[in-house]
Amino acid sequence: MGSVQLQDFVAGLVGGIASVVAGHPLDTIKTRLQAGQGYGNTLNCVLTVYRNESLAGFFKGMSFPLASIGIYSSVVFGVFSNTQRLLSQLRHGDPAAAPSLTDMTLASIVAGVISVGIGTPVELVKIRLQMQTQPYTKANVKLNSTAPGSPVYRGPIHCLRTILQKEGIPGVYRGNIAMLLRDVPGYCAYFIPYAMFCDWITPHGSISPNLFSIWVAGGVAGAVSWAVSTPMDVVKSRLQADGVYLNQYKGTLDCMLQSYQNEGLKKSCQEDQKVSYVLSQTSSVVLVRAQLL
């Protein structure tokens, strides 16, 4: 059992790092579409970022999640797997027993809650670095010492230190409620479909799912998860990007209301959801592929 526990954490570590490397350019486009202005659609956003910031613009804010997301994913996957085994031990007397739907749901909820405590500062710094050179409407911005479009932060450490100095600990956890509302249902919508699809498409008689089963199940689970998570991911991104140049939102509910009033439900999610879908396929496949280690 000890080796299996270690394998879970290693899978999360390797998969998390791989998902950042493979998916960060898409994540940058998604964040710009969610929280930025003037991009219109996905293609225009890609062209604008490349024209204004070259290829490096797609990798803004990558260093901090690359250094921390491995630990983050390791903890999330490890917590999910160990919680699931603990529940199987308590309910069935055998940690290796096939988990019930209730067990997977509870384990997903625990993993989602844990992810917020670790992941909020990571995503905050990533988004602030991704958004600090995107265009803002000058009429809506009260200029301080830094004009819109000019870099505010010199790097992830400077970004985190600046947020702590100006906003304190609450500032570091800005968007945590939206992230909680994203991750708890999001992990339920990921882990449960993944387990179900793995079980359905794994050939009878096989002890563990093969590579094809893992890829298909991971892709489907990722798509389902992002379909559930995208609305709150938009709110989280806007809350965390808010504060680079101005403070537009008073909180999670205010951000939801303003987004709905200004854009409606469909418009505020449709463009970035296309990118989120592709991102989910990339991230999910590399994450679950690591389970073969």
Q: What is the pLDDT of residues 186-201, one digit of tens each?
A: 989 988 988 888 888 8
Sign (positive/negative) of CA torsion 262, 266, 272, 276? Answer: positive
DSSP string, 191-214: HHHHHHHHHHHSPTT-SS--HHHH
- Count of positions (residues) in the chain: 293
User: So what's the pLDDT on residue 201?
Assistant: 80
Which position has the token pair 């794994």? 202
Closest listed residue to residue 179, CA positions, set 278, 72, 79, 106: 72
- Say how far apart CA 88 and CA 94 lie, in whole Å: 6
User: So what's the pLDDT on residue 176?
Assistant: 93
Q: How far is CA 183 from CA 56, 67, 124, 149, 236, in A?
A: 29, 21, 15, 31, 11
> For the chain, what is the radius of gyration of the CA atoms?
20
Q: How far is CA 209 from CA 107, 264, 275, in A?
A: 21, 42, 28
- With H, G, I as helix, E, B as strand and everything else as coil, classify residue 151: coil
Tokens of 94: 């055998």
Mark the ranges of the chain whose per-residue pLDDT is less than 50: 1-4, 136-148, 271, 274, 276-283, 285-293
Tens-digit pLDDT profile for residues 260-282? 888 776 655 554 554 544 444 44
Q: Are 136 and 238 in contact (CB under 8 A)?
A: no
- Say how far apart CA 64 and CA 11 lie, in whole Å: 20
12: which residues sit within 8 A by CB, 6+ positions away?
A: 70, 73, 74, 75, 76, 77, 78, 287, 290
Sign (positive/negative) of CA torsion 71, 75, 76, 77? Answer: positive
- Say how far apart CA 117 and CA 125 lie, in whole Å: 14
User: So what's the pLDDT on residue 227?
Assistant: 84
User: So what's the pLDDT on residue 109?
Assistant: 94
Q: Are 23 and 283 in contact (CB under 8 A)?
A: yes
User: So what's the pLDDT on residue 115?
Assistant: 87
pTM over 0.85: no
